[in-house]
Chains A and B, each alone.
Chain A
């Protein structure tokens, strides 16, 4: 019987690519390269849409909830912050108010939502440290606990986070990693300091993915039912992790998601479930940590929990290779701005949005849902081709700098 609940939401908006690929003028300066590569108009469209459906109402709701004793944690990607500074200062202000509340813990994330740790682990450590400092500048708090891109964790990334100086890291509690263990305990690897908090993916996905699905046997999910499930989970605490966009965007307002969340604190209280922040959970269960062997092939919170969701088809593998090439080329130029552009091009979303290629089924539907609607006018094959073209264009545009 779990007596504690840890809630985590991540706020992220990708830097969407401009498709079809815009040719880059020969000798273009980095600002113009960036202008050709990323679709700021599309980013703005989605940012404003999601602000209306999710950020504003969900932030208000969470603020009300924490005021009445609910506790939660929240992480922000750099691309979200960048977009909020440009197009939604009021949105950012709302989040600042939320983070300021003592019942809310700020969690660090990999700023670019990228897979940079595959190509350059030292850069990954630097980026994590930089983002931790930047978050302090914006929100006034320095995160001690961190998430990574798509909650990725592997043996080497664990040590990278340890070197970056974090006290705790979130990971997805998949059976293939945990084996016989429950995701409801605090873990560590080979006795090192960095604590691991596994997300209960099944209970998380009941809300994150299945909440509006009327074919699901648990539909319609009520707060009392969900609180009962949380209570029934075996272990010390349940970590629930969601995309912020779950509230109002992935699960629309008319699905009852806001009612559900609004009613949850009361239901938790009735069942004596205490809300904790990740740091509080670490403090409380520090003496009860268990050892968890971490996989060399990392796990994520997407799809079936490995990297298959991102590297499961030939189109994704091609982009993954191009990510490495563009990053390497930028490194060779030694140009800070070009490195920054390359970093954004290593964003995991550029793999996430083409998972559907050659696939069918639920996971492909999720991937297709995240693929900008405008792209579909090109047709599936051309989306793949044009996306590769973006990378090729940038790699060629860097010739000028070498």
Chain B
């Protein structure tokens, strides 16, 4: 009986190429940095030698080995990042040129060739439009050097951003294109490609229960009927105005609400805040110098009374999970969301996620979350009132949410990824070295 190809740490190494990466302040502008960081940590923890090539903090070493040498961070273009200390996307075009120009040769000479000598398959995964050209170049250079059949190449779209800059014909020819949700898959059909869906994930720790003393305090701070929370970039896609209008509507009908919000650095904030004030909502900005949980909760208390607390400080994972869990609902109500990681994180924390209905494959309406079908704020208001009147339903949704979230930990996603890779290796007739069954 012929055995199936099996990808294991014995016969495979991984390379993840991304602009964003594990360096918390410099390299993480959004969900991509978190994704790359978590995915590569899990790969390494499962025993795979994993390289991450990303635009790292220029003050950190160019190369760093973690997890007993299994996780190797390659901070790229640091000579350029030196000129741009703010973050990964400052000096974007300068970094992009250098990335496309120099990463392919490095991947071939320093990663693929040695791995092939050790009879290993190399899986190269590129993330987002920034890496599309580099991935094409890597494929070309490997092909030119007779190594292309020793390598599996996947390129992943987390978002539709800058799709117009991608040479889809060449990318589709040189790599296996993947994306994070069925919604994205459908969006991309229009580009003449049929991406494979490999879902995003969350780290296991997101499911851990926290019994911190201060966790009990959160709900007592707010005297309002409802506490809502929303986090995301200041972008019309996130439907900030819909959320603000819903809060104003609740206020009008006598349901007092405290709406905690945390945006990014985008200027669209101005429009949203203007709209909130125009609707008669009292907005306060909250800043915390040392934002541990205690200081943050004290700051919330001091800022009241207010309808909206605009949080202007970094929210730690612990604080976020507290807010996710103990708010009445978290508004992840985007009009267009490729995946919607926030919704999944809320569910993992046992919170009530109110999502849009685009890329959030993990939601089942009124089973494990609330799903909006329109951009009408009244829909939001109606569901919030429903939850308030049906506490048992709310409890059930919170319970189901955690059960669903367990299926989306990176460990689970990794299994899915490996199965897909084995299928791709089989169809592309990839040379698996001497140990194709991973024994």
Contacts and interface: CB of A to CB of B under 8 A. Distances in A.
Contact of B83 (A20, A22, A27): A27
A25 B83 contact: yes
Interface centre among A25, A28, A35 (most CB of B within 10 A): A25
Contacts of B94: 22-25
Contacts of B84: 25
A23 B91 CA distance: 9
A35 B79 CA distance: 11
Nearest to B79: A32
Contacts of A96: none
A28 B98 contact: no
Contacts, number: 23
Interface in A1-53: 20, 22-28, 32, 35
B97 A28 contact: no
A24 B80 CA distance: 9
A22 B94 CA distance: 7
Contacts of A22: 94, 97-98, 101
Contact of A23 (B79, B82, B93): B93
Contacts of B82: 25
A23 B97 contact: yes
A265 B79 CA distance: 54
Interface residues of B, number: 11
A396 B50 CA distance: 40
- Please report whether the interface of chain B is mostly helix, strand, loop or mixed according to DSSP: helix
B101 A25 contact: no
Contacts of A26: 83, 91
B119 to A, nearest CB: 30
A131 B424 CA distance: 60
Contacts of B97: 20, 22-23
B255 to A, nearest CB: 51
Nearest to B105: A41
A107 B84 CA distance: 47
Interface centre among A20, A23, A26 (most CB of B within 10 A): A23
Nearest to A27: B83
Interface string B76-108: 000110111000000101100110010000000
Contacts of A24: 94
A242 B93 CA distance: 43
B145 to A, nearest CB: 14
Contacts of A27: 83
Interface in B299-345: none
Contacts of A28: 83
A32 B95 CA distance: 13
A25 B94 CA distance: 6
Contacts of B91: 25-26
Contacts of A35: 79
B88 to A, nearest CB: 14
Contacts of B83: 25-28, 32
Contacts of A23: 93-94, 97
A22 B79 CA distance: 14
A22 B93 CA distance: 9
Nearest to A22: B97
A215 B332 CA distance: 75
Contacts of A25: 80, 82-84, 91, 94
A28 B82 CA distance: 9
Contacts of B98: 22
A24 B91 CA distance: 9
A26 B101 CA distance: 19
A20 B101 CA distance: 10
Interface in B90-148: 91, 93-94, 97-98, 101
A29 B410 CA distance: 43
A272 B409 CA distance: 90
A28 B84 CA distance: 11
A23 B77 CA distance: 13
A90 to B, nearest CB: 23
Contacts of B93: 23
Interface in A259-306: none
Nearest to A20: B97
A77 B338 CA distance: 57
A372 to B, nearest CB: 15
B109 to A, nearest CB: 12
Nearest to A25: B83
Contacts of B80: 25, 32
20 contacts: A20-B97, A22-B94, A22-B98, A22-B101, A23-B93, A23-B94, A23-B97, A25-B80, A25-B82, A25-B84, A25-B91, A25-B94, A26-B83, A26-B91, A27-B83, A28-B83, A32-B79, A32-B80, A32-B83, A35-B79
Interface of B: 79-80, 82-84, 91, 93-94, 97-98, 101
Given A22-B101, A26-B91, 11 more contacts: A22-B94, A23-B93, A23-B94, A23-B97, A24-B94, A25-B80, A25-B91, A25-B94, A32-B79, A32-B80, A35-B79
Rank and list the top 10 A-B pairs by shortest CB-CB distance, nearest first: A25-B83, A23-B94, A22-B97, A23-B93, A25-B94, A25-B80, A27-B83, A25-B91, A23-B97, A26-B83
